[in-house]
């Protein structure tokens, strides 16, 4: 097979960081080549170089054996390379055709494009590649899965022969992800080639022909799915053996800690985001909330933690009504929070680690005596937590903002887990973290559960919910549509309910299969 793409000796330096270190990568015609690596490994940098957003300090790019200088995305498209971005670049109030036409004027040198001709071409492409996209539909009416296929059509319309997918399944249900893998195979059948970026080990094994792992900017190895398994890939990514499966005993739930009754919450646009939700979480159990992101989980958590007012309904924590209490008051009732957006809600980035660790407790004994801050005691306590929670930092005075994502998250976990709490809300607790940090945080959550804390885990990573939760509540369009015992929940079943299939029907469907 010939190489449609060849990257030779690509090096990219940012101030203080060697993001890509002499990387070689080839893509054969008609293959799916997965690029696997932890957060910060250098995957996006490499792809942005290929896409013309960055210039490499060293190295060369060959397409169909011909050396190319790629100075802009336009050069990249002209060379036949297209990227399906992680966040779609579509305009909701435009139709599919209008979105495809957008930006194309540049390519055609300003020549007027006939909408009907474009629509016809979209329909042809849709049929040819089995994408099921209606050229006249408004993007705002399309599901996320279909929007992704519109992005693909945009690239096909521009005659891309190499398609780069950057974490394409992050926003999909498991069934939608399988649909995408079918589409990828249709693309291959028609002679396209694909670079597939992901951190999900199962997907790499399922969907790729070849796998290249990068770590700290360097290629550490290449393999094929037949010769790899999750453990092997994870240890290549991390550079040491990693425990992928969480060891946990059956739960032993006791008294109700959190009791939510008929909760309704509005989002920023005053739309109902949480629709009459009721549930309880008990001591010693993890209730997992599964759902595609954007189904009300964020607003639910904000309401539970005092960051957003609810519209109707009640919240009780250990029998105390905390419905409209402030975040500090809710914290004082024994609640801990790992927020979804750690930089916005979890840390003060320009404060030191010491100060961030004392954010909830600085005004209490032993950190304040009278009104006087006990700085030595705070510092000593911080140093102990840095040690205990394995926070990698030069020292306790380093600002939180200069830590890596995984270490920022550990600062939050250290702060939230080191005081006595009866209830923990962990929202997307491992999003964007490396495998090593994920392993660490999962173990701490189980430890808290076993110590009798009630844990509410909200995650759009279904694998994470399946691994940790004792019961699984599925959220769809603001409602909790079903609560399953973890031992009865399969990924297929939860995936169907996440996609809006009626739970009773979903249960019949998985029985039949
Ligand atoms: P990945 O996509 O694998 O998560 P990235 O390619 O985004 O990794 O990042 C690789 C390294 O380069 C990281 O240390 C990141 O902080 C750094 N980096 C990426 N983009 C920039 C930039 N524009 N300026 C400075 N540093 C950057
Ligand atoms: Mg990236």
Place of tokens 């170089």: 49
pLDDT at position 156, please?
94
How many Å lie between the centroid of ligand 2 and the Cα of residue 44?
4
Ligand 1: nearest atom to the Cα of 37: 3
Spell out a b/e string for 86-95, using b for 16 or more CB atoms within 10 Å of the CB, else e. Answer: eebebeeeeb
368-374 contacts: CB < 8 A, separation 24 or more? Answer: none
Is the CB–ligand 1 distance for residue 43 below 6 Å? yes
pLDDT at position 470, please?
97
Q: Which has the higher per-residue pLDDT, 114 or 248?
A: 248
pLDDT at residue 40 is higher than 60? yes
pLDDT at residue 124 is higher than 60? yes
Residue of minimum CA distance from atom 16 in ligand 1: 40
Confidence of residue 112 (pLDDT cuts 50, 70, 90): low
Confidence of residue 273 (pLDDT cuts 50, 70, 90): very high
> What is the mean predicted confidence (pLDDT) over 291-302?
93
Max distance between CA atoms of the chain, in angstroms, equals 76
pLDDT 10s digits, 164-182: 998 888 778 888 899 999 9
How many Å lie between the centroid of ligand 1 and the Cα of residue 437?
18
Confidence of residue 106 (pLDDT cuts 50, 70, 90): very low
Q: Tokens standing for 133?
A: 């996209």
pLDDT at residue 66 is higher than 60? yes
Report how far residue 279's alpha carbon sits from residue 56's, in angstroms, rounded to the nearest whole number.
53
% the chain with pLDDT above 70? 97
pLDDT 10s digits, 308-353: 988 899 999 999 999 989 999 999 999 999 998 888 888 999 999 9
Asked whether the bond before 366 is cis by omega within 30 degrees of 0, the reply is yes
Q: Which of 19, 21, 44, 53 to mutate to test the pocket of ligand 1 (most atoms within 8 A of CB)?
A: 19
Check if the beta carbon of residue 160 is closer than 8 Å to that of residue 80.
yes
pLDDT at residue 109 is higher than 80? no
Rounded to 10°, the helix 405-417/435-450 angle is 10
Q: Where are the alpha helices (DSSP H) in 347-398?
A: 353-357, 375-388
Q: Which of 110-114, 167-171, 264-268, 334-338 has the lowest mean pLDDT?
A: 110-114
How many Å lie between the centroid of ligand 2 and the Cα of residue 438?
17
- Helix, strand, coil proportions of the chain in percent (round to 5)? 35, 25, 35
Place of tokens 């399969």: 490
pLDDT at residue 205 is higher than 90? yes
pLDDT at residue 47 is higher than 70? yes
Check if the beta carbon of residue 423 is closer than 8 Å to that of residue 457.
no
Opening angle at CA 166, ends 226 and 13, nearest 5: 100
How many Å lie between the centroid of ligand 2 and the Cα of residue 11?
17
Q: Which has the higher per-residue pLDDT, 390 or 282?
A: 282
pLDDT 10s digits, 447-476: 999 999 999 999 988 999 999 999 999 999
> What is the mean predicted confidence (pLDDT) over 46-61?
95
Opening angle at CA 32, ends 29 and 33, nearest 5: 100
- pTM exceeding 0.85: no
Report how far residue 216's alpha carbon sits from residue 219's, in angstroms, rounded to the nearest whole number.
8
Q: Which has the higher per-residue pLDDT, 175 or 374?
A: 175
How many Å lie between the centroid of ligand 2 and the Cα of residue 53?
14
By DSSP bridging, strand 471-476 and strand 479-485 are: antiparallel
Alpha-carbon Rg of the chain, whole angstroms? 25
Report how far residue 212's alpha carbon sits from residue 222's, in angstroms, rounded to the nearest whole number.
4
Ligand 1: nearest atom to the Cα of 12: 12
pLDDT at residue 359 is higher than 60? yes
pLDDT at residue 384 is higher than 70? yes
Report how far residue 470's alpha carbon sits from residue 484's, in angstroms, rounded to the nearest whole number.
9
pLDDT 10s digits, 390-417: 888 889 999 999 887 788 989 999 999 8
Is the CB–ligand 1 distance for residue 39 below 6 Å? yes
> What is the mean predicted confidence (pLDDT) over 27-47?
92
Instruction: Give every CB contact of residue 240 below 8 A, 6+ residues apart in sequence.
Output: 436
pLDDT at position 244, please?
76
pLDDT at position 9, please?
98
> What is the mean predicted confidence (pLDDT) over 421-430?
94
> CB-side exposure of 409: number of CA atoms within 13 Å?
23
Q: Which has the higher per-residue pLDDT, 392 or 81?
A: 81
pLDDT at position 437, please?
80
Q: Which of 37, 45, 86, 407 to mutate to test the pocket of ligand 1 (most atoms within 8 A of CB)?
A: 45
Place of tokens 């009504």: 321
Task: Compute the mean pLDDT over every residue in the chain, rounded to the nearest whole number.
Answer: 91
How many Å lie between the centroid of ligand 2 and the Cα of residue 434?
12
Report in angstroms the alpha-carbon separations of 110 from 101, 121, 155, 317, 467. Answer: 12, 19, 19, 62, 53
Asked whether the bond before 150 is cis by omega within 30 degrees of 0, the reply is no
| 3-class DSSP state of 88 | coil
pLDDT at residue 1 is higher than 70? no
Ligand 1: nearest atom to the Cα of 38: 3
Residue of minimum CA distance from atom 23 in ligand 1: 14
Left (φ > 0), alpha (ψ -120 to 50) or beta: where does 406 sit? alpha
Let me know if 85 is exposed, middle or buried by CB neighbors in 10 A (0-12, 13-18, 19+): middle
């Amino acid at each position: 097979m010939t190489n449609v793409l060849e990257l030779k000796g690509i090096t990219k330096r940012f101030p203080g960081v060697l993001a890509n270190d002499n990387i070689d990568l080839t893509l054969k015609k008609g293959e799916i080549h997965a690029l696997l690596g932890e957060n910060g490994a250098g995957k996006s940098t490499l792809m942005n170089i290929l896409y013309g957003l960055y210039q490499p300090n060293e190295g060369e790019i060959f397409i169909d054996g011909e050396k190319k200088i790629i100075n802009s995305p336009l050069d990249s498209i002209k060379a036949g390379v297209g990227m399906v971005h992680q966040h779609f670049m579509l305009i909701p109030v435009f139709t599919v055709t209008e979105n495809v036409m957008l930006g194309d004027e540049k390519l055609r040198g300003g020549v007027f494009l006939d909408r009907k001709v474009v629509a016809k071409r979209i329909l042809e492409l849709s049929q040819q590649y089995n994408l099921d996209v209606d050229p006249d539909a408004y993007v705002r009416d399309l599901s996320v899965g279909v929007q992704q296929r519109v992005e693909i059509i945009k690239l096909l319309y521009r005659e891309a022969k190499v398609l780069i997918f950057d974490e394409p399944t992050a926003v999909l249900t498991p069934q939608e992800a399988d649909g995408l893998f079918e589409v990828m195979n249709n693309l291959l059948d028609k002679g396209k080639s694909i670079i597939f970026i992901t951190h999900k080990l199962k997907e790499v094994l399922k969907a790729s022909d070849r796998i290249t792992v990068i770590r700290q900017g360097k290629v550490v190895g290449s393999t094929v799915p037949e010769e790899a398994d999750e453990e092997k890939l994870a240890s290549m990514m991390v550079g040491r053996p990693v425990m992928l499966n969480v060891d946990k005993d059956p739960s032993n739930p006791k008294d109700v800690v959190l009791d939510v009754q008929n909760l309704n919450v509005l989002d920023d646009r005053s739309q109902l985001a949480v629709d009459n939700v009721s549930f309880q979480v008990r001591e010693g159990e993890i209730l997992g909330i599964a759902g595609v992101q954007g189904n009300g989980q964020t607003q639910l958590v904000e309401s539970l933690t005092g960051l957003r007012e609810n519209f109707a309904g009640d919240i009780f924590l250990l029998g105390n009504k905390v419905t409209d209490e402030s975040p500090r008051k809710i914290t004082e009732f024994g609640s801990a929070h790992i927020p979804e957006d750690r930089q916005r809600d979890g840390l003060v980035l320009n404060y030191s680690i010491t100060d961030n660790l004392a954010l909830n407790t600085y005004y209490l004994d032993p950190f304040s005596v009278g009104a006087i801050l006990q700085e030595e005691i705070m510092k000593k306590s911080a140093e102990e937590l840095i040690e205990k929670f394995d926070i990698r930092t030069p020292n306790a005075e380093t600002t939180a903002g200069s830590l890596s994502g995984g270490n920022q998250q550990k600062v939050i976990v250290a702060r939230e887990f080191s005081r006595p709490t009866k209830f923990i809300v962990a929202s997307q607790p491992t999003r964007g973290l490396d495998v090593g940090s994920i392993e660490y945080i999962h173990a701490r959550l189980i430890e808290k559960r076993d110590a009798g804390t009630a844990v509410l885990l909200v995650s759009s990573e279904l694998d994470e919910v399946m691994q940790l939760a004792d019961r699984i509540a599925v959220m769809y369009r603001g409602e909790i549509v079903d609560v399953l015992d973890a031992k009865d929940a399969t990924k297929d079943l939860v995936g169907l309910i996440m996609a809006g299939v009626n739970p009773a029907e979903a249960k019949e469907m998985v029985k039949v299969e």
